Amino acid sequence: MRDGLTRRKLITTGLAATAGASGLGVVAALARRYGLIPPNHRGIFGPSETLTYAAQRLLIPRHSLAREFNRSEISKFAPVNGNPPDNENYHRLLAGDFVDWRLVVNGLVTRPSSFSLLELKRFPSHSQIINLVCEQGWSYIAEWSGVPLSYVLNLVGVRPEAKYAVFFALDDWWESVDMVDAWHSQTLLAYDMNGQGLSAGHGAPIRLRLGRELGYKSGKFLSRITIVDSVKNIGKGLGGANEEDGYSWYAGI
């Protein structure tokens, strides 16, 4: 406790000094020291990506919660961003109510597994009314129910080297988060939205709902979660499909 505070104070001082001066190298050094280098630390925005991510992780308690709302605050209208996957596999799964779908969980885990929708629905469920904020400038409040990702991670047993959870979807979307957000209590594998089964548009059969990151990190139509110690060999190594289009890897809100 005391160590944590001392450490936080030290780091705050370091970051504050750096923010004022031109010494982004100091942040990089601090970030490196605490293993807080985001996958997209190179390029023009690299130093500021590192600054944002390292500052958030060092200064904000890891269990801090996104704001939750009352039922009366649920938005009347919830936009759908994009179309459901337009491929034969998705059409077939959707037509069969996803009985043939499975969520694969593998990588740095002691018991690689796959789960059917029914199995996931039988696990303890959690509901949360939170805001979904799209980087395009719109947002809506909705209630999501599902199984906390932490429950599934405990079932498969995450190995100590784990650094990121990578999510793959039935379209060409993929994204990753660090293990702080993976274990976070508001990180949900959601199958219900506002008390009803997820529509295809909102991500059937299962979507990720992260409380503390922008909408594009909350993958719809999930098919696989892979736990890794590095994302450098996945795609262009930037941590996600959106990052390859120039978005931030860390999209904390």
Ligand X SMILES: Nc1nc2c(c(=O)[nH]1)N[C@H]1C(S)=C(S)[C@@H](COP(=O)(O)O)O[C@H]1N2
Using CB under 6 A as the criterion, which residues of the chain lie in contact with ligand X when the complex forms?
A: 79-82, 132, 134, 169, 171, 173, 202-203, 215-216, 218-221
**What DSSP line would sit under 174-203, residue for residue?**
EEEEEHHHHH-TT-EEEEEETTEEPPTTTT
Nearest residue to Mo ion, by Cβ distance, number only = 134
Spatial CA neighbour of 209 closest among 136, 162, 122, 142: 142
Report whether 67 contacts 45 (CB < 8 A). no
| Listed ranges 11-19, 72-80, 127-135, 199-207: which one lies at the site for Mo ion (CB under 5 A) | 127-135
Q: Among residues 39, 215, 219, 239, which is the contact residue for Mo ion, using CB under 5 A?
A: 215
CA dihedral over 2, 51, 141, 84, signed as positive or negative: negative
Q: How many CB atoms lie within 10 A of CB 61?
A: 8
Q: Among residues 144, 174, 216, 221, which is the contact residue for Mo ion, using CB under 5 A?
A: 216
Q: How many angstroms from the chain centroid is the CA of residue 228?
A: 14
* Closest to ligand X by CB, 58 or 132: 132
d(CA 253, CA 251): 7
Please report, as residue ranges, which positions from 159 to 198 form the binding site for Mo ion (by CB under 5 A): none
Spatial CA neighbour of 198 closest among 112, 132, 133: 132
* Closest to ligand X by CB, 178 or 213: 213
Q: How far is the CB of 182 from ligand X (least distance, A)?
A: 17
Q: How many angstroms from the chain centroid is the CA of residue 124?
A: 20
Q: Rule CB under 5 A: is residue 134 a binding residue for Mo ion?
A: yes
247 binds, among ligand X, Mo ion, none (CB under 5 to 8 A by kind): none
202 binds, among ligand X, Mo ion, none (CB under 5 to 8 A by kind): ligand X
173 binds, among ligand X, Mo ion, none (CB under 5 to 8 A by kind): ligand X
79 binds, among ligand X, Mo ion, none (CB under 5 to 8 A by kind): ligand X
Nearest residue to ligand X, by Cβ distance, number only = 215
Q: Rule CB under 5 A: is residue 200 a binding residue for Mo ion?
A: no
**SS3 letters across 86-119:** CCHHHHHHHHCCCCCCEEEEEECECCCEEEEHHH
Q: How far is the CB of 221 from Mo ion (least distance, A)?
A: 15
* Closest to Mo ion by CB, 134 or 155: 134
Q: How many CB atoms lie within 10 A of CB 10?
A: 12
Q: Rule CB under 5 A: is residue 146 a binding residue for Mo ion?
A: no
Contact positions toward Mo ion, by CB under 5 A? 134, 215-216
